[in-house]
A and B are shown apart, each in its own frame.
Chain A
Amino acid sequence: MNQFPILSLMLLVPLAGSVACLFSGAKAARQIALATTLFNLALGVWLWSQYQVGGDRWQFQENVALFAGFSWKLGIDGIALLLIELSVFLMPICVLASHSVDKRVGEYMAAFLLMETLMIGVFAAQDLFLFYIMFEAGLIPMYLIIGIWGGADRIYASYKFFLYTLLGSVLMLIAMMWMVNEAGTTDIPTLMEYNFAPEAQTWLWLAFFASFAVKMPMWPVHTWLPDAHVQAPTAGSIILAGVLLKMGGYGFIRFSLPMFPEASAQFAPLIFGLSMVAVVVTSLIALVQNDMKKLIAYSSVAHMGIVTIGLFAFNQQGLEGAMIVMLSHGLVAGALFLCVGIIYDRLHTREIDRYGGLSINMPKYALFFMLFTMAAVGLPGTAGFVGEFLSLTGIYQVSSWVAFVCGTGIILGAAYMLYLYRRVAFGEQKNADAAAMPDLDKRELAMVVALALPVLWMGVYPESFLAPMRNDIAMLDARVARAKPQGDAQLKVGAPAAKPAAGHGEHKSEAQAPEAHGGAH
């Protein structure tokens, strides 16, 4: 307890930067924002270096009873650590990517820095209501970012984003109040161990689901996402895809699963159904998009479908896979939005047909765009592969049908991403203005290289990212084990060959299980 309050500092630094930006001119605001986010990144690196893998479950804990009814309680485990790292890593890139923003720069940077505080707050909060406040407060800066700096339909998109997510969240608040009333504490670690009555869990789970499903977003409440993405400025899209979408997954992993294991098992078929639809349907929708950002937005929904099936697979591979998909999607989708933003800055259109043959005049760009495309497809050696592979392995143990359908989604994913890449980077240079675009400058190169390195790192040596959260995932797995649904592929223990067939019937416990589907023998 007496250690240095690093988490509070990481929350306060961007907040202070945000206030400073609000009252500065454009140039100063850019510098302040970049300095602040880089400083926070340095703090993040220090945080990771100080985090003891295999140490206490909750580290860097702080607890000050500042408020009535809840307290300023922070602390992280491996899962939260990685998501915080993702946030602080993406923020300087967002600031750099906002080079083309030229109206109201001070307010713009202030909104982003406020967003950073709130995102870190969501992942670091250990008090239920502190979490809710941070979770919900993100609506305000995001509403302003989409509404002020967005594109043509920004107002519709901002309304949709705000009202959808608000409606999802308020019911969760009532559920939280009920839980606190029942358990007598607002402490998240305690609540994660608390056993709510299974009947109550059903309702609580649904209330939380209403919020997380919208944030995630899951089909059919995903419709705000393409609108918000298309209209948000590049940096807004990066943050939205990179970190905000992870709040839904984080919510499932931190709240729904450990707090309501029985209800999670009960509703797992619902999640599987929605995820399967999401993976296939949104992939098909992505296939016919003409707008690059919309295409990537729909692919995000599909990837989030992989996350949800991994989470509700109730086993270690699935959970780890879901986490890795979240991290890799944060990097890859962020990078793809950045790639779109780079050419958008030059040509001011997101229409795929207006580009073509970019590999000729923008070879460096085409190289990195290719890397991120492959990562989104899930090519081995990139971050996307590790997460998708683990998730599908996890779900395969539960249901081979779900694994099959979601596997189809991966193929469709390859289809729409490669089709996008072909139309943008290959082919003839049919548009003169697109053909005249200059290649990446130093700033842009720095951003894409910064994103490419962890994508490869995570793909080649995922252990660095799996190690910090392994114990936490194992504890979560143990926590939900009692409600674990039975898989559809049961291994049948055969009789030893030497013995006569009569002994077969004695292995009742395993052999009575339903006949195996799929082919898991």
Chain B
Amino acid sequence: MDWSHSFRLAAPEELLTIASLVLLIMSAWMRGKGAARLVTWLAAGAIAVAGGISAIDLCAGASGPGTLAFSGLFAANALAAFAKVLIAFAAVATLLVAPQYFSRYAAYRAEYPVLVVLAVLGMGLMVSATNFMTLYIGLELNSLASYVLAAFLKNDDRSAEAGLKYFVLGSLASGMLLFGISLVYGFTGAIDFVAVGQALTGTMPTGAVFGLVFVLVGLAFKISAAPFHMWTPDVYEGAPTPVTAFFASAPKVAAMVLTMIVALQAFGTQIEAWRPIVIFAALTSIIWGAVGAIGQTSIKRLLAYSSINNVGFMLIGLAAGTAQGASAMLVYLAIYVPMTVGGFITVLMLKDEKGNPVDDIRDIAGLSRHRKVLAACLMMVMFSLAGIPPLFGFWGKFVVFQAAVQAGFFSLAAVGIAASVIGAFYYIKVVKIMYFDEPAMKATGKSDWIHQAILAVCALAISPLGYLASKALAEWSGAAIASLLPMGV
């Protein structure tokens, strides 16, 4: 193995490693008010460049043995590149809005962007994993950074509680995952995904079945699929809003892609074994995410349930167990990221005169009267999350359900799509509060241009103009899946 080749392939991760170390030193030595902001911009720049490098890989449609680095421990294929571009976008968007939020509490420190860089680095490893060891290292690097981020507002009890909850439950999930990995290793003698897949043909030994279940349960925790979603609303509500926005977007992409890689590559020969589990998780997530959201009064909690709901739809693509289903998941993710980032940016922009965040859903009543554009953006996000055409969110659901139908799962598709109507109820409730109710005149505060710019980008992406990108998305996601499964499923 040629080292220079390996270093070239892992360039985004190396860049992020160096950046995190340099920025850490900078944050330790630099003084003054502007230091944290400077570090933020540098970190965002580094992540953006890393994403740019990945974008080149994606456009080249990198696949085959030439994408394996470090003796096959790391793959820089089109799939990883696809995920990394999304992660980079989500991370940059949510990082840039952080300083303004934390400055209110005088709690912004340069460590924040460094932790985000480390988390992004972990995610990069996750989606580039070709074996359970890389997977676990990436996952833990991401998780450890995330625990600290959740508790970043250390003087706020709810933030601390969120951090602790996230840590305890996340560790439990990691433990289960590790236990599952050890069982799989014990019964197959391999940790490489492809080798595990080859070893698991035919009837599975009971122990390996246990291993598979534990691995999937661990991953279900990370993607917050029901019935392992309990931590999500609490953590999303307690964590500082920019951190919540980050959690709902970037790690979701990484964990989702990772789940897909493990399911289709490591357990790709045992689709029938895991399909019932995934179908169960998908339908429970859709229904629970919808029903649970109905009674919520906090917008952040509502969006948390919405993310559970969306995970359910993505898992329908996985349940199809086909290359088409997998690429549908990627398309869904690519739409989900601007949708959810846009949603949280709007939440960040909801402030009262003094700049205090507004989180109670009743306080945004009549928002459309005094904040026309903001309300229109939130309405687009809501209808898009509900999957109502002509907004682009519809397309995500469309491709996923089409994959399920083409794989022959009509009843799954019918039940899933019928359950989406339950979800529509609470999405349109938000629209009702903003548009139909008398103004509460609470959320009157203004936001800076960064918020507006990011919101504009997200709103444009989920607007009907997004359909013009559907061809490119189909092509890229197709190339990504081709790089994962050159033989098909």
| Chain A residues engaging chain B, CB cutoff 8 angstroms | 66-69, 104, 107, 129, 132-134, 136-137, 139-140, 143-144, 147-148, 154-155, 158-159, 162-163, 166-167, 170-171, 173-174, 177-178, 180-181
Is B31 part of the contact surface with A, judged by Cβ < 8 Å? no
Is B410 part of the contact surface with A, judged by Cβ < 8 Å? yes
Which of the 9-residue segments B53-61, B226-234, B382-390 touches chain A?
B382-390
Say which residue of B417, B432, B475 sits within 8 Å of A174 (CB atoms).
B417
Interchain Cβ contacts under 8 Å between A and B, 27 examples: A67-B467, A67-B468, A68-B470, A69-B398, A132-B389, A133-B394, A136-B394, A137-B389, A137-B390, A140-B383, A144-B435, A147-B432, A147-B436, A148-B436, A155-B432, A155-B436, A162-B428, A163-B424, A166-B421, A171-B417, A171-B418, A173-B417, A174-B414, A174-B417, A177-B401, A177-B406, A180-B402
A170 and B471 contacting across the interface, CB-CB below 8 Å: no
- In this complex, what residue of A is CB-closest to B437? A155
Do A159 and B401 contact each other (CB < 8 Å), given the known contacts A66-B467, A140-B383?
Answer: no
Question: Which residues of B are found within 8 Å of A67, using beta-carbon distances?
Answer: 467-468, 470-471
Question: Which residues of B are found within 8 Å of A163, using beta-carbon distances?
Answer: 421, 424-425, 428
Do A170 and B410 contact each other (CB < 8 Å), given the known contacts A67-B467, A69-B402, A148-B436?
Answer: no
Q: With the chains together, A177 CA to B407 CA distance in Å?
A: 11
Is B42 part of the contact surface with A, judged by Cβ < 8 Å? no
Do A170 and B467 contact each other (CB < 8 Å), given the known contacts A69-B402, A140-B388, A178-B405?
Answer: no
Report the minimal beta-carbon distance from B362 to chain A, rounded to whole angstroms.
15
B428 and A143 contacting across the interface, CB-CB below 8 Å: yes
Residues of B within 8 A of A (CB-CB), count: 34
Say which residue of B389, B424, B431 sits within 8 Å of A133 (CB atoms).
B389
Question: Which residues of A are found within 8 Å of B468, using beta-carbon distances?
Answer: 66-67
B405 and A68 contacting across the interface, CB-CB below 8 Å: no
Q: With the chains together, A213 CA to B399 CA distance in Å?
A: 26
Residue from the set B398, B399, B406, B420 with the largest chain A CB neighbour count within 10 Å: B398
> 6 closest A-B pairs (Cβ-Cβ)?
A68-B474, A133-B389, A68-B470, A177-B405, A137-B390, A170-B417
- In this complex, what residue of B is CB-closest to A168? B421
Q: With the chains together, A284 CA to B68 CA distance in Å?
A: 75
Do A162 and B413 contact each other (CB < 8 Å), given the known contacts A67-B471, A148-B436, A177-B401?
Answer: no
Q: With the chains together, A147 CA to B417 CA distance in Å?
A: 25
Q: With the chains together, A171 CA to B368 CA distance in Å?
A: 32
Question: Which residues of A are found within 8 Å of B431, using beta-carbon distances?
Answer: 143-144
Report the minimal beta-carbon distance from A371 to chain B, rounded to whole angstroms.
37
Question: Which residues of B are found within 8 Å of A148, using beta-carbon distances?
Answer: 435-436
Q: With the chains together, A478 CA to B296 CA distance in Å?
A: 55
Interface string of B159-177 (1 = CB under 8 A from A): 0000000000000000000
Question: Which residues of B are found within 8 Å of A139, using beta-carbon distances?
Answer: 388
Q: With the chains together, A155 CA to B428 CA distance in Å?
A: 11
B470 and A133 contacting across the interface, CB-CB below 8 Å: no
Question: Which residues of B are found within 8 Å of A178, using beta-carbon distances?
Answer: 405, 410
Query: How many A-B pairs with Cβ below 8 Å?
Result: 90
Is B473 part of the contact surface with A, judged by Cβ < 8 Å? yes
B399 and A69 contacting across the interface, CB-CB below 8 Å: yes
- In this complex, what residue of A is CB-closest to B386? A166
Report the minimal beta-carbon distance from A73 to chain B, rounded to whole angstroms.
14
Question: Which residues of B are found within 8 Å of A180, using beta-carbon distances?
Answer: 402
Question: Which residues of A are found within 8 Å of B413, using beta-carbon distances?
Answer: 174, 177
- In this complex, what residue of B is CB-closest to A180? B402
Q: With the chains together, A129 CA to B475 CA distance in Å?
A: 19
Report the minimal beta-carbon distance from A393 to chain B, rounded to whole angstroms.
39
Q: With the chains together, A132 CA to B388 CA distance in Å?
A: 11
Do A174 and B428 contact each other (CB < 8 Å), given the known contacts A67-B471, A148-B436, A167-B418?
Answer: no
Question: Which residues of B are found within 8 Å of A147, using beta-carbon distances?
Answer: 432, 435-436
Residue from the set A137, A144, A163, A177 with the largest chain B CB neighbour count within 10 Å: A177
Q: With the chains together, A338 CA to B174 CA distance in Å?
A: 66
Do A174 and B401 contact each other (CB < 8 Å), given the known contacts A66-B467, A155-B432?
Answer: yes
Report the minimal beta-carbon distance from A475 to chain B, rounded to whole angstroms.
30
A133 and B390 contacting across the interface, CB-CB below 8 Å: yes
Q: With the chains together, A132 CA to B401 CA distance in Å?
A: 15
Report the minimal beta-carbon distance from B399 to chain A, rounded to whole angstroms.
7
Q: With the chains together, A284 CA to B332 CA distance in Å?
A: 49
Say which residue of A107, A144, A158, A166 sits within 8 Å of B424 (CB atoms).
A166
Question: Which residues of B are found within 8 Å of A162, using beta-carbon distances?
Answer: 424, 428
B421 and A170 contacting across the interface, CB-CB below 8 Å: yes
Question: Which residues of B are found within 8 Å of A174, using beta-carbon distances?
Answer: 401, 405, 410, 413-414, 417
Q: With the chains together, A147 CA to B429 CA distance in Å?
A: 11
Q: With the chains together, A218 CA to B121 CA distance in Å?
A: 57
Report the minimal beta-carbon distance from A270 to chain B, rounded to whole angstroms.
20
- In this complex, what residue of A is CB-closest to B376? A22
Question: Which residues of A are found within 8 Å of B369, using beta-carbon distances?
Answer: 104
Report the minimal beta-carbon distance from B417 to chain A, rounded to whole angstroms.
4
B401 and A154 contacting across the interface, CB-CB below 8 Å: no
A69 and B470 contacting across the interface, CB-CB below 8 Å: yes
Q: With the chains together, A498 CA to B81 CA distance in Å?
A: 91
Say which residue of B410, B420, B436, B467 sits within 8 Å of A158 (CB atoms).
B436
Q: With the chains together, A166 CA to B435 CA distance in Å?
A: 20
Q: A67-B470, A137-B389 are in contact. List 20 more A-B contacts (CB 8 A).
A: A68-B470, A104-B369, A136-B394, A154-B436, A155-B432, A155-B436, A159-B428, A162-B424, A162-B428, A163-B428, A166-B421, A166-B424, A170-B420, A173-B398, A174-B401, A174-B410, A174-B414, A174-B417, A181-B402, A181-B405
Q: With the chains together, A68 CA to B467 CA distance in Å?
A: 8
Q: With the chains together, A352 CA to B471 CA distance in Å?
A: 56
Interface string of B368-386 (1 = CB under 8 A from A): 1100000000000001000
Q: With the chains together, A67 CA to B425 CA distance in Å?
A: 29
Do A68 and B418 contact each other (CB < 8 Å), given the known contacts A137-B390, A155-B432, A162-B424?
Answer: no
Q: With the chains together, A159 CA to B421 CA distance in Å?
A: 12
- In this complex, what residue of A is CB-closest to B389? A133
